[in-house]
Amino acid sequence: MLHLQPKKLPGIIESTLLLLVTIGIISYFIIEIQTVPHIPILIGILIMIAYGYMKKMTFKNLQFGMTQGAQTGMGAVLLFFVIGVLIASWMASGTIPALMNAGFLLAGGPWLLAIIFAVTAIVGVALGSSFTTAATVGVAFIGVAQSMDVSLAMAAGAIVSGAFFGDKMSPLSDTTNLASTVVKVDLFDHIKNMSWTTIPAFIITFILFMILSPNGTANVEQLENFQSGLNASGLIHWTSWIPLAVLIAMTVTKRPAFLSLAISSITATLIAGFRGVLGWGTLFGTWFDGFQGNTESEVVNELLTRGGMNGMLFTVSLVILALALGGLFFVTGVIPAILTRVQDSLKSARAAILSTAFTAIGINITIGEQYLSILLTGEAYQDIYEKAGLAKKNLSRTLEDAGTVINPLVPWSVCGVFLSGVLGVPVLEYLPFAFFCLISPLLTILFGITGKTLTPKEVNLRSIEKADENNFTHSKSL
């Protein structure tokens, strides 16, 4: 959205007030009045259009800003639709029921929430996608928590924490690759440097979920009832694991996420069709309407009834509105004015780290898009880190600590909308329990203040070594 900047930027006070008022209105409607986020975001769009008219901007320019903003999320929108298909097809093929069944086996011991966090973290690293992890293993664990009367908010917090640990640390993750690419840092150097904040955040999160997990072991009889209900559905079969294997194989070979999910969905649908789970017409109908559980147990039916493109329309519409609002913030100059002022006022390493973190968090809150929070913040701060004498991998780490993991905590963000829709738990309910996402930015801010784990710029050292080598060669030739 950098190309949306107007020729003349508004004042910093004016921009800040307008931004705070808009965010305040959105927050009031969602938290106090408890409306769906679409309404206050649409009101925010109308406010920004009125502001644009006050600045004598044409509606054509304002509309261009909205469309350009929405366009940045089209990749995610298309991915949402195919994820809806994936969930429905994996239900029909028995893949998610098989994962649920495995989850019930894990739930038979203590530390349920800690296990959910650890398993989703491992799967997240393997798949490199928080969306895919939440839509598959996450859905299965939500079903387990629902059947055991465990707090769905806590379970969702554990799932989100684990999924975003994986999204942050996996070399297959698009956000991890984006952060390292934007800042021009080696991918594995970036991941290694992130371990200074990520590993402590993982350990603290695991301990917190151990403490919050239900006391004692689960009700074995209750678990057996759900397992027998799943087995009676006829969905679980050895072939149920094939779609998961296909997805892992596609991911490991670095195929595009859209193609990986689509091929896994097609594989699952074909398996379900040849096994006679549903008629072919009904089976492909689940791609839009979602899978409907049809067992003798109403509770099991509730666990199985999920997915479909139709179920993603709420998410898609909200994402488009939120990104359109972000486009207006740029085309009117509100966000560029703030970024420009911040850049001009930074000199020290401590100020650079803190400002990077708060800028990435702010862009997540105002625009609701994690890719833009990484891209825009990374582009804006590279020269500042050079002047502050910091290695660029400090910047890429901060982008992930305060950019990637914050997005699922914003109710109107791309990740927040998707996760709340897929898991069935509102963002504001799971937010207090998404410990990993809360701890990561706190640690990066703490290290920024203390200067711990920050790597100084290596360019000067290399230049000195090169100069010494040249001087030695020159003196030898004399």
Nearest-CA neighbor of 114 among 420, 433, 430? 433
Model confidence over 329-387: pLDDT tens digits?
888 888 888 877 776 666 677 788 888 888 889 888 887 777 778 877 877 787 778 87
For residue 221, the model assigns a pLDDT of 58
Strands (E), 415-470: none
Predicted local distance difference test score (pLDDT) of residue 261: 85
Q: What ranges in 148-256 are assigned the alpha helix state H?
A: 152-169, 174-183, 187-212, 220-232, 242-252
| 421, 185 Cβ separation under 8 angstroms | no
| C-beta atoms surrounding 58 within 10 Å | 10
**Statement: residue 474 has pLDDT above 60:** no
* 322 contacts 414 by C-beta, under 8 angstroms: yes
User: What is the per-residue pLDDT across 251-267, written as a single tens digit (0 to 9) for each?
Assistant: 778 788 788 889 999 99
Summarize the confidence of residues 431-448 as an average pLDDT: 92
pLDDT at site 435:
95
Q: How far is CA 124 from CA 105, 213, 251, 389, 426, in A?
A: 20, 21, 11, 34, 21
**Hey, what amino acid is at 397?**
R
Residue 475 binned pLDDT confidence (cut-offs 50, 70, 90): very low
- For residue 397 the two structure tokens come to 């780490």
Instruction: Give pLDDT, residue 471.
Output: 43
Q: How many whole angstroms separate alpha carbon 157 and alpha carbon 463?
A: 47
- Residues 395-409: tens digit of each pLDDT: 889 989 988 899 899
Once rounded to an integer, what is the mean pLDDT over residues 123-129? 76
Enumerate residues 6+ apart whose C-beta is below 8 A from 362.
338
Distance of alpha carbon 300 from alpha carbon 294, whole angstroms:
9
Q: Kindly tell me the sign of the dihedral angle through the C-alpha atoms of 283, 287, 288, 293.
A: positive
